[in-house]
Amino acid sequence: MTPGEIGTWLAKSLGDFHLSRGERQELAEKIATLESMADRQTVLRRAFELARAGLDHPQAKLILGWLEDVARTIGTTHSEPTKTLAEAYFSPGDECLDAILRLLHHSRRTANICVFTITDNRVSEAILDAHRRNVSVRIVTDNEKAEDLGSDVERFEAAGIPVRVDRSPFHMHHKFAILDGKTLVTGSYNWTRGAARDNQENLIVTNDLRLVKPFSDTFDHLWNQLG
């Protein structure tokens, strides 16, 4: 489930100002499906928003009790331990390319891509395939590079993938992506054939939340800024 769907469920559960034993079990099962600690925090923030909106209600004490039960359930629900991911790849050669293709192939929910230029058709096909699997793909790229010969930005837009570009004389020079909200891909590697074939480049893949979160926040900031 998504944090938004669980948030909708929480709003309904607050209707009687009580989180029953059955509801606590159901909430625990829903929380266990989330893919990252950030998603859990999103659900918890939604619970606080719902409770805060009811502080002037005559049943405010019951609402606070509901919030305590929700917070306790979220805090004590355990999911499968996440394997630490810390990988490095280099080019020339296909190491970086293969890592990107593999991660895009295994993405299931979201793919937020913020890359200076995308001209490698092998990568573009993997992005389009993710979109066809109903992965929510969003792309931020450089306005000048989007018009380069070989750029696949028009293909993405034609397929219905939302794309935003910077509108300044300077470059949007990032090269990173966040997949399913939990895996960061970043490094000097541009998503081009030349980077794989000729250039000395690097690519880092990690699920360390200390890195995933600031990159996710940066993507959201750019996305909103360029909207």
**CA 76 to centroid of chain Cα atoms:** 24
Burial class of residue 107 in the structure, from the number of CB atoms within 10 Å of its CB (0-12 exposed, 13-18 middle, 19+ buried): buried
The catalytic position among 30, 145, 174, 175 is 175
Task: Please name which of 131, 69, 138 lies closest in space to residue 105, comparing C-alpha atoms.
Answer: 131
Cβ neighbours for 122, distance < 8 A, ≥ 6 positions apart = 97, 101
Q: Is 199 helix (H, G, I), strand (E, B) or coil?
A: coil
The catalytic position among 173, 208, 220, 221 is 173
Confirm whether 175 is a catalytic residue.
Answer: yes
Q: Tokens 């979160």 belong to which residue?
A: 213
Q: Is 143 helix (H, G, I), strand (E, B) or coil?
A: coil
The catalytic position among 69, 120, 142, 180 is 180
Would you call the peptide bond into 169 cis, given omega within 30 degrees of 0 as the criterion?
no
Backbone φ/ψ region at 134: left (φ over 0), alpha (ψ -120 to 50), beta: left
Q: Are strands 86-91 and 201-206 parallel, antiparallel or unpaired?
A: antiparallel
Confirm whether 180 is a catalytic residue.
Answer: yes
Residues serving a catalytic function are 173, 175, 180
